[in-house]
Amino acid sequence: MACQMIFSWASTVPNDKVFPIIKKYIQQFGTSANEDERAAAVYVLGYFSDSDCCLDPIKDEIDTLTTFIMEKMTDSSSKVREAAAETVGRFSENVNPEFLDKHKVVMPLLINIARDLMNSKSEMVIQKTLFAVNEFAQNLDYDIKLYLEQLV
């Protein structure tokens, strides 16, 4: 509910006013010792990558944000990894072509994580990672051929 309320506010306030505030808290809580705060920061980032919200400033900072998300994909907390996988899926849908252009960084990591999760007991992380792989691969167009063998 809070996320929807902030999203509604961020959708009506100009990006140059709202994104610095959101970015500040994503950075602050994204490095917190508390796993719930890290997960929330990553989740909010994905949620706000919508064209009605903060898509343009996210595209402007895609290098830094991709690094941030990829770090969270390997976080020690399954909650954080789950949120990061969902954010990868949302970025794959919304942040085009900027995020998809990072496929040489994103796709190998997603494939390795999916492979490692085959024996995981965290079903939700597996589901969200497969969602991320699916969304990323679905939107990748011709570059998908680089990863077909590994995906199969």
User: Which residues, in sequence order, are CB contacts of 52 under 8 Å at separation 6+?
Assistant: 11
Check residue 4 and give its pLDDT.
87
Burial grade of 96 (CB within 10 A; 0-12, 13-18, 19 or more) = middle
Tokens (6 digits) for 20: 């610095």
pLDDT class of 1 with cuts at 50, 70, 90: confident
The lowest-confidence range among 6-15, 39-48, 94-103, 123-132 is 123-132
pLDDT on residue 44: 93
Q: Tokens at residue 128, please?
A: 């969200």
Q: Which domains does the chain have, with CATH numbers?
A: 2-151 (1.25.10.10)
| pLDDT tens-digit map of 105-123 | 999 999 888 888 777 777 8
Q: How many residues does the chain have?
A: 152
Structure tokens at 98: 């900027």
Across all residues in the chain, what is the average pLDDT?
91
Residue 65 has pLDDT above 90, yes or no: yes
pLDDT given for residue 142 in this prediction: 79
pTM of the model: 0.88
Report the C-alpha gap between 105 and 147 in whole angstroms.
12
- The DSSP code for 95 is S
Could you give the count of Cα atoms lying within 13 Å of 127 in the half-sphere of its Cβ?
Answer: 4
